[in-house]
Chains A and B, each alone.
Chain A
Amino acid sequence: MTASTASSDTSAVRAPGPRSIVGRRRLTSRRMVDVVSHGYIWLCLFVFVTPFLALLAYSFTGPGGTYAIENFQYVLGSFGENLWWSLRISGLSIAIDLAIALPAAYAIVRYPVPGKRLIFSVLSLPLYVPGAVIGLSLVITYNFTYHLTTSMWGLVFGMVVGTFPLMLTPIIVALKDLPIAFEEAAECLGASRWTTFWRIVFPLIGPGVSAGLMLAFIIVFNEYLVTLFVHPSEITTAPLRIFNLVRTAGLLPTTAALAVTMQLISFASVLLFFRVFGTRYFKGTYLI
Chain B
Amino acid sequence: MATPLTVPLPQLQRDTRGRERRARLVPLALLGPAIAVTLLFLYYPLVFIVRMSFTLADTFLRPTGAVTTISNYVAMADRYLPNLLVTLQLASLATIVDLVFGVPFAYVLVRKVRYRNLVRAFMVFPMFGALYIAFGMRFILLPGGPATPLFEALGIPNTSVLYSLPSVVFAMSIFTFPFMVMNVGTALSNVDPTLEEAAACLGARPLQTFRRVLLPLTRAGIVAGALMVFGWSLGTFAEPLLLGSVNEQKTLAWTLYLKGVIQLDYGLSTAMGVVLLILAFGVTYFSLRYSRGALVE
Contacts and interface: CB of A to CB of B under 8 A. Distances in A.
Q: Do A and B bind each other?
A: yes
Contacts of B34: 100-101, 103-104, 123, 164, 168
B31 A107 contact: yes
Contacts of A44: 101, 105, 177
Given A58-B139, A132-B276, A164-B37, A239 B129 contact: yes
A55 B228 contact: no
A64 to B, nearest CB: 14
B237 A169 contact: no
B226 interface: no
A1 B114 contact: yes
B27 interface: yes
25 contacts: A37-B108, A37-B112, A47-B174, A48-B126, A49-B125, A55-B139, A103-B34, A104-B33, A107-B28, A113-B27, A126-B38, A128-B231, A132-B257, A136-B269, A137-B270, A137-B273, A138-B41, A140-B49, A160-B41, A164-B37, A218-B127, A222-B132, A224-B131, A239-B131, A242-B131
Interface of A: 1-4, 9, 34, 37-38, 40-41, 44-45, 47-55, 57-58, 99-101, 103-104, 106-108, 111, 113, 116-117, 119-123, 125-126, 128-141, 144-145, 157-158, 160-161, 164, 168-169, 172-173, 218, 222-225, 228-229, 239, 242-243, 246-247, 251, 255-256, 259, 262-263, 266-267, 270-271, 274, 279, 283-284, 286-288
A48 B273 contact: no
B120 interface: yes
Contacts of A247: 241-242
A103 B46 contact: no
A49 B122 CA distance: 7
Nearest to B242: A246
Chain B interface helix/strand/loop/mixed:
helix
B138 to A, nearest CB: 7
Interface in B137-152: 137-140, 142, 146
B261 interface: yes
